[in-house]
Amino acid sequence: MTKGFTIWFTGLSGAGKTTVSRLVEKELRARGYKVEVLDGDVVRENLSKGLGFSKEDRDTNIRRIGFVCELLTRNDVVAIAAAISPYRAIRDENRARVGGRLVEVYCECPIDVLAERDVKGLYKKALRGEIKNFTGVDDPYEPPLSPEVVIESNEETPQQSAVKVIAKLEELGYIYMKEAP
């Protein structure tokens, strides 16, 4: 029987957290693991409805995601969190909350690439000062100091990034290695 664990995807908006987390979810399900994805946008609409974007509200949102990850991990489910989670201290708090069974995945991508990818034009508006408190522009994002996996989404395909995450999970012994056909 396998133990639960949490995969925590962090990075700026548009860096690939949701896309890669869904690919990892698909692979883990194909290998027979119980998996739940907690996507930041979905959580904000449901579990954290009514919270704003102040530091306190962002911390509350990320703590709520961490609490659910703790419950899932404790019940032998693979919890995948995909949320900007801009503050290092709260991410570290959540690592401790799930008993250290957390694999942090940093989705790194330069702002100029994110602005080009952004179909809603939010980065361009934030860079022009039309949107205030935008994470990574005029609100801080604290990159992880030593994540288990770094994804460079401007240089890797989502599939290549997902393979990196799966390989790290195998290396850490959280999942079984896939047998060759």
Per-residue model confidence as pLDDT tens digits over 63-81:
999 999 999 999 999 999 9
Measured distance CA(121)–CA(116) in Å, rounded: 8
Measured distance CA(162)–CA(26) in Å, rounded: 10
With pLDDT > 90 as the criterion, what percentage of the chain qualifies? 77
How many CB atoms lie under 10 A from the CB of residue 109?
20
Identify which of 48, 35, 42 has the alpha carbon closest to the alpha carbon of residue 4: 35
Phi and psi of 151, rounded to 5°? -105, 130
Which overall architecture, per CATH, does domain 5-109+141-171 show?
A: 3-Layer(aba) Sandwich (3.40)
Measured distance CA(27)–CA(134) in Å, rounded: 33
Per-residue model confidence as pLDDT tens digits over 28-56:
999 999 999 999 888 888 888 888 888 99
Tell me the CA distances in angstroms from 156 to 21, 37, 81, 160, one per residue in order: 14, 22, 21, 6
Per-residue model confidence as pLDDT tens digits over 113-167:
999 988 888 999 998 999 888 999 989 999 999 999 999 999 999 999 999 999 9
Measured distance CA(142)–CA(12) in Å, rounded: 10
What was the pLDDT predicted at 102?
Answer: 96
Measured distance CA(140)–CA(84) in Å, rounded: 11
What was the pLDDT predicted at 176?
Answer: 87
Strands 5-11 and 102-108: parallel
Active centre residues (catalytic):
85
What was the pLDDT predicted at 99?
Answer: 87
